[in-house]
Amino acid sequence: MRHVISVKVENKSGVLARVAGLFSARGYNIDSLAVSQTEDNEISVMTIVVRGDDRIIEQVKKQLNKLIDVIKVSDHSDYPSVNRELALVKLSAQAARRPEIYQLAEIFKAEIVDISLKTITIEVTGEPERIDNFIELIRPYSIKELIRTGRISMMKE
């Protein structure tokens, strides 16, 4: 099962390495990792997506809570939350196929952020599943390059 874990930490150098090291030391692969400052410049939040059963994730959360710079650990998988990602997709875009690409971008409320004679770069944001769907539909148009941010997540009130 995929878990979305939010970790509030002190905004200090080396904290990211210690948190990531905790996962790698136990042989767990991180599917996605996003880190940013919060409304308080001295606190950052890490959103980590990892696969594992409930027992394994519970152990990981306990280990995270033992790290000195960790303030709070939350598993967003158990609660309603807002999840977002951003993807940039560069496509080979011959003139004849551009109208179809524009149409798909419009349907997904994606934004064309760069265009050249040979390529179009599209930015799409939203729920991770929405990004997956967009990528699958756009794949036949020859993806030259694809990059995604890590998931960010905020629990609902």
Q: 43, 82, 58: which is closest to 3 by C-alpha?
A: 58
Q: In this predicted model, what pLDDT tens digit does every residue of 8-52 receive, in sequence order?
A: 999 999 999 999 988 888 888 899 999 999 999 999 999 999 988
Q: Are residues 75 and 110 in the same domain?
A: no
* Strands 143-148 and 119-126, bridge-based pairing: unpaired
The residue type at 54 = D
Nearest to 74 by CA among 44, 47, 38: 47
pTM recorded for the entire structure: 0.83
Burial class (CB in 10 A: 0-12, 13-18, 19+), 37: exposed
Q: Are residues 27 and 67 in the same domain?
A: yes
Specify whether 75 is located in the same domain as 86.
Answer: no
Q: What is the CATH number of the domain that holds 69?
A: 3.30.70.260
Structural contact between residues 60 and 3, judged by C-beta atoms closer than 8 angstroms: no
pLDDT for res 53: 84
Q: What is the domain extent for residue 130?
A: 82-155
pLDDT, position 17: 93
For the chain, the domain total comes to 2
The CATH number that applies at residue 129 is: 3.30.70.1150
Q: What is the pLDDT of residues 94-137, one digit of tens each?
A: 888 999 999 999 999 999 999 999 999 999 999 999 999 999 99
